[in-house]
C-alpha cells in the first residue's frame, strides 16, 4: 500500500502533526464537496424525494457494508445510526435476552465509562436482579463463569491501547454459554478485526475516530447472522419496523440488521462518512496494521531514549496493543498542552496519561521523528512548566 498517497487525501493543517486520529479523525479532502453536494443537489433540489432518489434511506446499510469489510462482518449484518453509547445499550439489551436465566453482565475496569454507565442504566431499568460486574482487564478470562449472561468488552483500552484477545475470549465465553458484546471504538480502522472468524455475537463502534467520519458521525452495530432473526430490538423505532411506511400500530421487527435501526438517519453525516469510506475501500488492513506497529515502535523507542521521565503505559508487546501509545507522567497534562502549543496534537486522559494515536493513512516516519524531537525539547527545557499549560479545558 502506498501511504504517501493516502496522506495526500487528507486536509492536515500546515505545521501540525496530528497524533489524535484515534479520538477524532481528520477531514478527508473530498468530504466538504461531498457534503455540499448532498446539501444543495439532494436536500436543496430534491427535498423529500431525496429519501428514495438520493438513496438516503438505504445509506445506513450501504455504509454498514463498507465498514463491515474492515471488521470481518458478513455482508448485510452491519447498520449505522445514533451514537455509540446508544448502540452499546441496544446490543447489550438484545444480548441479555438471549440468556434470560442469567443475571450477570461482566465487563472490565478498563472499559470506557460510557459503556459501563449505559449498562448500569439498563440494569436499573430492567430491574430483574441483573448485576454489572467489573474486574481488572487481565482477570477477565479467569472470571468467566456460568452465571454470566453477557461479556461486554471494549477490545482496545481507550487509555493504554491494551488489547483483548477477541478470538480467545469469545471462544471461552461461548464454551460457558455466555453471549458477547464487543465494542470496536478503538479497533475499527485501527487493526484487522475478524468478527465472523471469531464467531462474535454483537459488536458496536463509532466512525468519528479512526474512520474519519467527522464529529458526530453515526455509530455502527453488528449482529451475527445466527442471532439476527431472534434478536429483539429494545429500541424499537419505526425505521427498524418490518414495514415502516405501513404505519401499523404494533411493532414488528424488520427481517435482517434493519431491525437495529431506530429513527431518521443523519443524512449529512452519512454523506461525510461515505466520502471517507471511499478512502477506506482501498485499504489493506494487514498492511495498515504492520505500518501502525512500525510507527508505534519508532515512537516508543525514541521517547524512551529521549525522555526517561516518561513511563510507558501501553503494553510493550505490539501484538497486545492497538494503534495508540500512552505514557504516564504526573505533569502529563501540562506537557501535552505545551506539545499542542507547538503543533503536536495528542491528548490527555486522567489521571496522568499522555496519549498518542498512530494512524498510518496520514502519519509517517517524518511526523513521528518530529513529534519525538519536540516532546524531548519541551521536557529538557521545562517549557511545559508554565501556568497557561496547567489551565484545564472542558475537553482534554
Ligand X SMILES: *Cc1c(COP(=O)(O)O)cnc(C)c1O
Q: Least Å distance between CB 207 and ligand X? A: 9
CA distance 157 to 108: 10
Stated as kind and residue range, the H or E segment containing 78 is strand 78-80
CA distance 283 to 271: 19
Work out whether 114 is an interface residue with ligand X (CB under 6 A).
yes
Q: Least Å distance between CB 264 and ligand X? A: 18
For ligand X, the closer CB: 90 or 303: 90
Work out whether 20 is an interface residue with ligand X (CB under 6 A).
no
For ligand X, the closer CB: 10 or 158: 158
Work out whether 206 is an interface residue with ligand X (CB under 6 A).
yes
CA distance 302 to 267: 43
With vertex at residue 340, the alpha carbon angle to CA 334 and CA 344, rounded to the nearest 5 degrees, is 130
Residue pair 157/181 in contact (Cβ under 8 Å)? The answer is: no
Q: Give the binding range for ligand X (CB under 6 A) out of 78-86, 119-127, 132-140, 338-346.
A: 78-86
- Helices 332-341 and 365-381 sit at what angle, rounded to 10 degrees? 120
With vertex at residue 152, the alpha carbon angle to CA 151 and CA 154, rounded to the nearest 5 degrees, is 135
Q: Give the binding range for ligand X (CB under 6 A) out of 12-20, 109-117, 296-304, 350-358.
A: 109-117
DSSP 8-state code for residue 144: -
For ligand X, the closer CB: 180 or 384: 180
Return the active site residues.
112, 183, 208-209, 355
Work out whether 158 is an interface residue with ligand X (CB under 6 A).
yes
Out of 76, 85, 133, 141, name the contact with ligand X by CB under 6 A.
85
Question: Site residues for ligand X, window 164-183 (CB under 6 A)?
Answer: 183
Q: Give the binding range for ligand X (CB under 6 A) out of 82-90, 169-177, 233-241, 289-297.
A: 82-90
Out of 115, 258, 274, 367, name the contact with ligand X by CB under 6 A.
115
Work out whether 337 is an interface residue with ligand X (CB under 6 A).
no
Work out whether 185 is an interface residue with ligand X (CB under 6 A).
yes
DSSP 8-state code for residue 388: G
Residues forming beta bridges with residue 162, ordered by sequence position: 321
| Surface-to-core class of residue 125, CB atoms within 10 Å of its CB (0-12 exposed, 13-18 middle, 19+ buried) | exposed
Would you say the C-alpha torsion 16, 20, 24, 29 has a positive or negative sign?
positive
Work out whether 84 is an interface residue with ligand X (CB under 6 A).
yes
Work out whether 210 is an interface residue with ligand X (CB under 6 A).
no
- Chain residues that interact with ligand X, rule: CB under 6 A: 83-85, 112, 114-115, 154, 158, 183, 185-186, 206, 219
Amino acid at each position: 500500500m502506498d501511504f504517501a498517497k493516502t496522506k495526500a487525501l487528507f486536509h492536515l493543517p500546515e505545521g501540525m502533526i496530528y497524533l489524535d486520529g484515534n479520538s477524532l479523525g481528520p477531514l478527508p479532502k473530498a468530504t466538504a464537496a461531498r457534503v455540499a453536494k448532498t446539501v444543495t443537489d439532494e436536500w436543496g433540489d430534491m427535498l423529500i424525494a431525496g429519501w428514495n432518489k438520493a438513496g438516503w434511506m438505504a445509506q445506513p446499510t450501504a455504509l454498514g457494508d463498507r465498514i463491515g469489510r474492515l471488521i470481518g462482518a458478513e455482508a448485510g449484518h452491519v447498520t449505522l445510526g445514533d451514537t455509540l453509547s446508544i448502540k452499546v445499550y441496544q446490543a447489550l439489551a438484545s444480548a441479555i435476552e438471549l440468556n434470560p436465566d442469567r443475571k450477570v453482565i461482566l465487563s472490565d475496569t478498563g472499559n470506557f465509562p460510557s459503556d459501563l454507565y449505559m449498562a448500569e442504566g439498563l440494569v436499573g431499568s430492567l430491574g430483574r436482579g441483573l448485576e454489572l460486574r467489573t474486574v481488572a482487564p487481565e482477570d477477565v478470562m479467569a472470571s468467566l463463569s456460568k452465571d454470566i449472561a453477557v461479556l461486554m468488552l471494549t477490545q482496545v483500552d481507550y487509555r493504554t491501547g491494551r488489547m483483548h484477545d477477541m478470538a480467545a475470549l469469545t471462544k471461552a465465553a461461548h464454551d460457558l454459554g455466555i453471549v458477547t458484546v464487543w465494542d470496536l471504538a478503538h479497533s475499527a480502522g485501527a487493526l484487522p478485526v475478524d468478527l465472523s472468524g471469531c464467531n462474535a455475537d454483537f459488536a458496536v463502534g463509532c466512525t468519528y475516530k479512526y474512520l474519519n467520519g467527522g464529529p458526530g458521525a453515526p455509530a455502527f452495530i453488528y449482529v451475527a447472522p445466527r442471532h439476527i432473526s431472534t434478536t429483539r430490538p429494545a429500541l424499537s423505532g419505526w425505521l427498524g419496523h418490518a414495514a415502516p411506511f405501513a404505519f401499523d400500530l404494533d411493532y414488528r421487527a424488520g427481517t435482517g440488521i434493519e431491525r437495529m435501526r431506530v429513527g431518521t438517519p443523519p443524512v449529512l453525516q452519512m454523506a461525510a462518512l461515505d466520502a471517507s469510506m471511499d478512502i477506506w475501500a482501498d485499504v489493506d488492513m494487514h498492511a495498515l496494521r504492520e505500518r501502525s506497529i512500525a510507527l508505534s515502535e519508532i515512537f516508543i523507542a525514541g521517547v524512551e531514549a529521549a525522555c526517561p521521565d516518561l513511563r510507558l503505559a501501553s503494553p510493550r508487546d505490539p501484538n497486545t496493543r492497538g494503534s495508540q501509545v500512552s505514557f504516564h507522567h504526573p505533569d502529563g497534562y501540562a506537557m501535552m498542552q505545551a506539545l499542542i502549543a507547538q503543533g503536536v496534537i495528542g491528548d490527555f486522559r486522567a489521571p496522568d496519561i499522555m496519549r498518542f494515536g498512530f494512524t498510518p493513512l496520514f502519519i509517517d516516519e517524518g511526523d513521528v521523528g518530529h513529534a519525538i524531537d519536540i516532546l524531548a525539547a519541551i521536557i529538557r527545557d521545562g517549557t511545559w512548566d508554565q501556568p497557561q499549560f496547567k489551565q484545564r479545558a472542558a475537553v482534554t
